[in-house]
Structure 1
Amino acid sequence: MSDKQNNIMIYEDKDGVTKVSVKFIDEDIWLTQNQIAEIYKTSQQDISFHIKNIYKDGELQDISTHKKFLLVKKEGNRNVKRNIDHYNLDMIIALGYRVQSDVAVRFRIWAIKRLHEYIQKGFALDDDRLKQGGNRYFRELLQRIRDIRSSERNFYQQVTDIYATSIDYDPRSNITKKFFATVQNKLHYAVHEHTAAELIHERVDIMKFNKIWSAMLTKLN
């Protein structure tokens, strides 16, 4: 394994927003203590100290975060093969909460924002990464959305089934129709903050816009 196969960067964009960029190999990232020290702008001794304490505290397990890879190192005029300790992304993240450096502070700011978004919204997305590629992850995201929508349909079906078991249930009555419409609208609003009627209205407007735009393009051509 080459010591240049993986990389991770913590930086600020032109607007001063902290970004974390990671290049994965085989769905994970493995770095040496020296490489991690370069990321957080600290010493290898500091990284080694924190790794020992992370294992001692039981925060992470050695077996799942630590591997030895054979690296070719130049020592004098010789190329020597040595088994070097490498640590995965879990350890790299954990070290970001312990190291005291400007880069580590920026990492913690970034991590807090992601965690806050996850706790508040129930999800956190890396928009830039999804736009640039990551086709497998995008397909996984779509599948998870489908699963969520399926559970919403199941919930709606359960509510309507319970109502249908009522002794005085009449599918033709105005009360029944109003009940189903109310439940449907509440579920729609919970998902996308629009009632069924509002959603239909928006989609009709979009369809009109698409037709007008298509007509304009046809005339131009």
Structure 2
Amino acid sequence: MKKLIRNSTAEFLIFTSQSGEDSIEARVEDNSIWQTQKLIAELFGKSVSTVNEHIKNIYAESELEESDTLRKFGNSEFSTKPTNFYNLDLIISVGYRVNSVRATQFRQWATKVLKIPDFHAEPLNLINCFAYSG
């Protein structure tokens, strides 16, 4: 189940598990999903420090470019410091690096989806299919 939240500056999707007990939030902008390190950590069941380490390595190894995958968005009216958000490409790269049950489910799911003939990856469909498919 997903829920779309709009405020004056951004749209957010909230993906909820079938049981309704867990949910993950994602910002929607420029035809991509954007998440903070904290949300990526929740998605894969890892700590923020682990996700941060993988992100640093992804950039250091030039797997992805920071300028293409990182955006600073104002987080709320209460925060004056912009928050780092990472796009779907980076979320996928982290998913292939982390070691957790949820990350394994992600890799199995991604491998299946990417093998579908004529599959066209739309960011919203990708994250919606995975967010709580398991």
One-letter code aligned to 1:100? N
Contact residue 6 and residue 31 of structure 1 kept, 8 A: no
Question: Counterparts of 1:49-68 in structure 2 under 5 Å?
Answer: 49-68=53-72
The structure number with the bigger radius of gyration is 1
- Which residue, out of 30, 38, 43, partners 2:42? 38
Question: Counterparts of 1:22-171 in structure 2 under 5 Å?
Answer: 24-72=28-76, 79-117=78-116, 121=117, 123-124=118-119
Contact residue 30 and residue 87 of structure 1 kept, 8 A: yes
CA RMSD in angstroms, aligned pairs only = 2.7
- The runs of 5 or more residues in structure 2 that have no matched partner are 1-8, 19-25, 126-134
One-letter code aligned to 2:76? V
1:5 aligns with 2:35: no
Contact residue 8 and residue 39 of structure 1 kept, 8 A: no
**Match of 1:42, SS?**
coil
Give distance in 2, aligned partners of 1:69 and 1:29. 13
Contact residue 27 and residue 34 of structure 2 kept, 8 A: no
Give distance in 1, aligned partners of 2:103 and 2:96. 7
- The runs of 5 or more residues in structure 1 that have no matched partner are 14-21, 74-78, 130-221
Contact residue 6 and residue 25 of structure 1 kept, 8 A: no
Measured after TM superposition, the shift of residue 23 of structure 1 is: 7.5
Q: Which has the higher strand share?
A: 2
Give distance in 2, aligned partners of 1:52 and 1:8. 27
Measured after TM superposition, the shift of residue 28 of structure 1 is: 1.2
Give distance in 1, aligned partners of 2:70 and 2:87. 7
CA distance 1:125–1:55, change in 2 (3 Å)? closer
Measured after TM superposition, the shift of residue 80 of structure 1 is: 3.2
Contact residue 66 and residue 87 of structure 1 kept, 8 A: yes
Please give the per-residue CA displacement for 1:59-117, whole angstroms capped at 9, x wherever unaligned: 100000001111137xxxxx332211110010001111001111110010011112222
How many pairs are equivalent?
107
Identity among equivalent pairs (%): 36
CA distance 1:80–1:24, change in 2 (3 Å)? closer
Contact residue 36 and residue 92 of structure 1 kept, 8 A: yes
Name the structure, 1 or 2, with higher relative contact order (CA <8 Å, separation 6+): 2
CA distance 1:112–1:59, change in 2 (3 Å)? same
CA distance 1:25–1:53, change in 2 (3 Å)? same
